[in-house]
Amino acid sequence: AQSVSQHNHHVILSEAASLELGCNYSYGGTVNLFWYVQYPGQHLQLLLKYFSGDPLVKGIKGFEAEFIKSKFSFNLRKPSVQWSDTAEYFCAVIMNSGGYQKVTFGTGTKLQVIP
Amino acid sequence: DGGITQSPKYLFRKEGQNVTLSCEQNLNHDAMYWYRQDPGQGLRLIYYSQIVNDFQKGDIAEGYSVSREKKESFPLTVTSAQKNPTAFYLCASSPTSGGISEQFFGPGTRLTVL
């Protein structure tokens, strides 16, 4: 069974610090990878996605993620965080299983940015 | 204004009662999903449906039931058999049933069982 691991449960950074959130998955087949963000009191929304092609994916608000197949990783990065980046971040893996999309989310990482 | 609506936002029920959570989408999406979100556990898939009149169990389907009689609607019933029903429930949809695509989420319903 596929699984997704987010090892950082709670991260606290000062504004302008660089961010890297880890995401590792366990599935040997073709994967499609996503990062979602949940700002306080708001809907879960897509930050970025990887289906194929360039393993370095750029998303909204200056976020990017790199797919490293050999490491089964899809870490999220941002060079300089802002207070408005305070949110919970979820990594997700989707695979096609018997014609159905099987979705697995990580446990999430809460990011707190201190002004 | 297209999107996913979930109602109500907050729901309180007594232990032993069944309760149905509403999810409606006007995005013309084929697939719909129900997740449960608990602190420190992320999102866990309860049920999903790729087409009308068809649905599949997710990872934690016990104590829940769903129906998909219309493309735009995917209600979730939390039955009295669910041992720990108090949680935040999220509904999502995605545009394609055969290919891979991102999911769009509703605002969620917070269910508290007293």
Question: Chain centroid to CA B78: how far?
Answer: 10
Backbone phi, then psi, for A61, in 5-degree steps? 55, 30
**Contacting residues of B for A96, CB less than 8 Å apart:** 99-100
**B106 contact A CB<8A:** yes
B114 at A interface, C-beta within 8 A: no
CB of A59 within 8 Å of any CB in chain B? no
| Residues in chain A closer than 8 A to B90 (CB atoms) | 44
Count how many Cα atoms sit within 13 Å of the Cα of residue B109 in the half-sphere of its side chain: 26
Q: For residue A115, what pLDDT is reported?
A: 92
pLDDT of B17 higher than 60: yes
User: What confidence score (pLDDT) does residue B1 get?
Assistant: 56
In this prediction, residue A84 carries a pLDDT of 96
Query: What residues form DSSP beta bridges with B73?
Result: B24, B70
Interval A83-100 mean pLDDT: 86
Residue A38, strand partner residues: A44, A88
Q: Do the bridges between strand B109-113 and strand B54-57 make them parallel or antiparallel, or are there none, so unpaired?
A: unpaired
- What is the distance between the alpha carbons of residues A107 and A89, in angstroms, rounded to a whole number? 9
Does residue B34 have a pLDDT over 90?
Answer: yes
Q: What is the pLDDT of residue B97?
A: 55
Question: What does the pLDDT average to over B27-52?
Answer: 92
Nearest to A48 by CA among A68, A77, A6: A77
pLDDT, one tens digit per residue, over A5-27 is: 998 899 999 999 999 999 999 87
Do residues A35 and A77 make contact, with C-beta atoms less than 8 angstroms apart? no
CB spacing of B45 vs A107 below 8 angstroms: no
State the average pLDDT for chain B: 91
Q: How far apart are CA B83 and CA B67, in angstroms?
A: 21
* For residue B49, pLDDT beyond 60: yes
Among the partner-chain residues A32, A100, A107, the one whose CB lies closest to the CB of B42 is A107
Residue B2 has pLDDT above 80, yes or no: no
**pLDDT(A99) > 70:** no
What was the pLDDT predicted at B95? 85
- Catalogue the E-assigned strands of chain B: 4-7, 10-13, 19-25, 31-38, 42-51, 54-57, 64-66, 76-78, 87-94, 104-105, 109-113
- CB under 8 Å to A35, separation ≥6 — which residues? A23, A46, A47, A48, A49, A59, A63, A65, A74, A76, A89, A90, A91, A92
Instruction: Give the minimum alpha-carbon distance from B15 to chain A in angstroms, rounded to a whole number.
Output: 27
Query: Are B107 and B9 in contact, with CB atoms under 8 Å apart?
Result: yes
Which of A34, A44, A49 shows the shortest C-beta gap to B90? A44
pLDDT for B93 beyond 70: yes
CA distance A106 to A6: 6
pLDDT of residue B55: 93
Give me the pLDDT at residue A98, please: 66
Mutate to test the interface with A, among B41, B103, B109 (most CBs of A within 10 A): B103
Q: Which of A6, A49, A105 sits opposite B102 (nearest CB)?
A: A49
Q: A101 and B31 in contact by Cβ < 8 A?
A: yes
Q: From the CB of residue A38, how many other CB atoms can be counted at a distance below 10 Å? A: 20
Contact A109, A10 (CB under 8 A): yes
